[in-house]
Structure 1
């Protein structure tokens, strides 16, 4: 069949189940955008290409597939750089497409060329694969190689560009191949390794499941639930894996922030880790709470990238393969020999439930402005049970680790890279991936919210069921705390404060969203409910106490232990 290059690119992505594209229309891309819409794709044009990249990353996390973002030559591609770096560090398989001038432009010995820079060499260090479609008949091989690299081993981003003269060329090509025809899919672990893992699980008296970010981005919750039921053990969340799995909410404990999690880890005699690098936030699985039994505690790791085995700690049984294929292998192997829960499990469940109830009761109350701990309690109590939770910010995120009363089944935040400003684009992308069916709540700080505040218009245009709860201290709150700890009370807090005339609810109204200003804790939940009921995206501007926000972050000392070196 005869197609243009731009349509062939869409066909190749469709073979991978991709049907959404983010980017700002440009002469390089108008043909592709129009064709995508005609083929039934979601075509979303935000206000900044970096936001487009974050939106695409959220789609990838919500679907378990690669996602696509596009940037026009020069400035548009430059704007993708931050999202590229985030996708690399967050292990998100985002395909970044970039336009470029006709290749002859690179060979001219001239100055003063408009909207031109050699792009590939700038981005190559930030992606797993960097290539250009130089000739029309390379389209299939380059796009497939990009998908292969993005989805093989540890997932990550790729960058593919094409000169403007290539995109409109004709191709005579067969139907697009399915993924299994050109890349490894559903890789399983060897039966000998599975047998050894089953033996260790059977011998353990206090095993734990360590659940990371990858479980949720692979959309593998159902099989992990079946495994957890057979193992009858606590589920320990990493800071990146904070989504809760249906049916496991009561025995899922956040590592380091729940005493039940700490006790379960300290007493554990086996750890089965899934979807995690076993990195700094879990002390490499050998320091802090793991230290006491480190020498005798065996580890089983489900890991797609063989080069990751043994890097941060020794692994007794590496199960190398796609966790979507390996976890079902474990489930089948354990089916006839389920474990009985240890007597301590019920106690840990009661302990963690009591902890949450006590935090809800003891979070400082009666303050105006609101204490950020109380904001988190009231906002998460109002979180819809079937909703998507998005997090962003510094201090307010740290308050959330301790005080959140919600147990969402989808949580999206930028944990590894810590990039502020991802929250609103993530929320838009997640809701687009969901088809706008489920309510989405973003809890964020005012600093982070203002990075991409223009995307409120995108949310309004798409009529997404999104409510943004913004903790407003009119400052870079976490950094204010750093100044105080470094130089003492009353020190200069250079560059951290702005006008208290800022009204984010009014900004929201200007974009066609619902806005509400809140100064009292008892008004938070009703305001959230009104926003969800408004039929428009909403912004709840909640004024919080700046002193509490900068000085009373809970478990801050635990957070600081994540930094293994170079921080004091």
Structure 2
């Protein structure tokens, strides 16, 4: 039976288990949006396409399923481009779909074509795949190739242009194929490589798991926890306060930001690296804390991209495959080896480190020290909350002073794109519905990027809690400015004034607002926000000097940039 291409597009996406669409309505997509709603899809219209793409990215982070976002011809597509670059750096398999004028516009010699540009060309550098569906009969093959490219090897975004004449065209095609009929779904490692890895693991005295963002976006928490339980070894985060594996919370340490993590790294004789690029945040596995014992330490690396092996350091056993397949292969063949005393020693060191840091956040500052905010706010969070972070100094304070070990933690760690926090929070809340709550902790400069999405949260009944640390300045950039040039009056030092009331802005959108100046008032404000059942903003002024000067772990953080200028 004939159908329209916009109907076919929805059917192809449904075959990939996708039923959420982000985008702002426009003639290119009116029929697509209405039909999607009729089919039971969630159609989310943000106030900015960039924010919609970040929401789609957060849904991928929480589900392992690609997100889909559309942009209308010309300006709408242009608004997607920054988020597309970000998705490329974050290795996020987002499907970007651009509306376009009828294809005849691309072939005309005439000048002055309103809203027409060769849009796909702007995306080519960042995308794993770009295409234009010029003819209706190309739809299936191009959509299939888009998913094949986005999800094969290292994940990444794709871009597809759909001209309006194609979108409205008729087609008569057989039922959509299942994903396993056109792309690789499973990628276990070779048996011989598994045998080599098992041999190294069984001989190791002090192995560690080095776990990066990819391990969590793969939604492999349970299988990774089973491997960690069998090994009874420390788990090292490539970044502090990433997601925690169930049952491994106490023996999980950040590399370089805790003496326990540093000791575990230096003492290790085997590293099993999973879901990480082994990049600058871990000194490429060769510098800093990794230098000690490097000649004796062996490396096992689970990676989907064959081109990644041996780039930053030597890998003794490369395991080419999807970690969702490879980790169970390993776990099934290794034997438990108790390492209780050593791990308990590390746990005690880490506990003392966290206790010592609590003393570094004075209680007598007005406005309050950022560390006190993080302590009180994270203590008041629901224990099963999804933690989202945004901002420079605020993110660093959070990973140092947080009193939680979240199962799901989201932040823009590879690209450092400010303004992702609120959209990420909304995307995450969409995935968990009312079962859990999302808590965003953000700096004010980052939060101000997309405050209009508070209206989206209200309209879609997404009860995210936004805790905003306000120094009324550019936070960590003030430290950098002063470090390079001394005190000054550059824009980094400019205070936009304490008349800024984000709680009142929230109330104007129909959300719940709180303004808190005392540490002891944070928990009651959090409880009121949770009880309201609404999206909420809790604005908390913090001491600007401490926010810039006392950024914890800055010395370690700065080692990531040793070759920044080269």
Alignment TM-score, normalising by the size of structure 2: 0.98
- Counterpart in 1 of 2:386? 388
| Secondary structure at 1:329 match in 2 | helix
User: 2 CA distance for matches of 1:556 and 1:130?
Assistant: 39
- Counterpart in 1 of 2:519? 521
From 375, 378, 381, the counterpart of 1:377: 375
- Counterpart in 1 of 2:509? 511
Superposed, 1:308-347 pairs within 5 Å as 308-334=308-334, 337-341=335-339, 343-347=341-345
Q: Please give the per-residue CA displacement for 1:545-566, whole angstroms capped at 9, x wherever unaligned.
A: 0111111101101001111413
Superposed, 1:145-544 pairs within 5 Å as 145-239=145-239, 242-334=242-334, 337-341=335-339, 343-488=341-486, 490-495=487-492, 496-544=494-542
Q: Are the aligned partners of 1:356 and 1:405 in contact in 2 as well (CA < 8 Å)?
A: no
- Counterpart in 1 of 2:136? 136
Structure 1 runs not aligned, ≥5 long = none
Q: Are the aligned partners of 1:213 and 1:241 in contact in 2 as well (CA < 8 Å)?
A: no
Q: Are the aligned partners of 1:240 and 1:415 in contact in 2 as well (CA < 8 Å)?
A: no
Shift of 1:343: 2.4
User: 2 CA distance for matches of 1:9 and 1:26?
Assistant: 17
User: 2 CA distance for matches of 1:397 and 1:566?
Assistant: 21
Residue-pair matches, total: 565
| Secondary structure at 2:97 match in 1 | strand
Q: Does 1:97 align with 2:94?
A: no
Q: Are the aligned partners of 2:240 and 2:255 in contact in 1 as well (CA < 8 Å)?
A: no
Shift of 1:491: 2.3
User: 2 CA distance for matches of 1:352 and 1:567?
Assistant: 34
User: 2 CA distance for matches of 1:381 and 1:363?
Assistant: 15
Q: Please give the per-residue CA displacement for 1:139-185, whole angstroms capped at 9, x wherever unaligned.
A: 00000000000000000000001111010111111221111110111
| Secondary structure at 1:451 match in 2 | helix
| Secondary structure at 2:522 match in 1 | helix
| Secondary structure at 2:382 match in 1 | coil
RMSD: 1.3
| Secondary structure at 1:166 match in 2 | helix
Q: Are the aligned partners of 2:201 and 2:207 in contact in 1 as well (CA < 8 Å)?
A: yes
Q: Are the aligned partners of 1:366 and 1:521 in contact in 2 as well (CA < 8 Å)?
A: no
- Counterpart in 2 of 1:115? 115
Shift of 1:361: 4.8
- Counterpart in 2 of 1:38? 38
Shift of 1:503: 0.5
Shift of 1:286: 0.8
Q: Are the aligned partners of 1:204 and 1:269 in contact in 2 as well (CA < 8 Å)?
A: yes
User: 1 CA distance for matches of 2:434 and 2:457?
Assistant: 10
Shift of 1:362: 4.4
Shift of 1:567: 4.5
Shift of 1:241: 7.3
Q: Are the aligned partners of 2:388 and 2:409 in contact in 1 as well (CA < 8 Å)?
A: yes
Q: Are the aligned partners of 1:46 and 1:52 in contact in 2 as well (CA < 8 Å)?
A: yes
- Counterpart in 2 of 1:80? 80
Question: Which moves more between the two structures, 201-210 or 236-245?
Answer: 236-245
User: 2 CA distance for matches of 1:462 and 1:353?
Assistant: 41
- Counterpart in 1 of 2:548? 550
Q: Are the aligned partners of 2:391 and 2:418 in contact in 1 as well (CA < 8 Å)?
A: yes
Q: Are the aligned partners of 2:240 and 2:399 in contact in 1 as well (CA < 8 Å)?
A: no
| Secondary structure at 2:166 match in 1 | coil
Shift of 1:208: 0.2
User: 1 CA distance for matches of 2:141 and 2:62?
Assistant: 27
Q: Are the aligned partners of 1:381 and 1:406 in contact in 2 as well (CA < 8 Å)?
A: yes
Shift of 1:347: 0.9
Alignment TM-score, normalising by the size of structure 1: 0.98
Shift of 1:227: 0.4
| Secondary structure at 2:165 match in 1 | coil
Structure 2 runs not aligned, ≥5 long = none
Q: Are the aligned partners of 2:86 and 2:417 in contact in 1 as well (CA < 8 Å)?
A: yes
| Secondary structure at 1:80 match in 2 | helix
User: 2 CA distance for matches of 1:368 and 1:341?
Assistant: 46
Shift of 1:435: 2.0
1:85 to 1:281, Cα distance in 2 relative to 1, 3 A: same
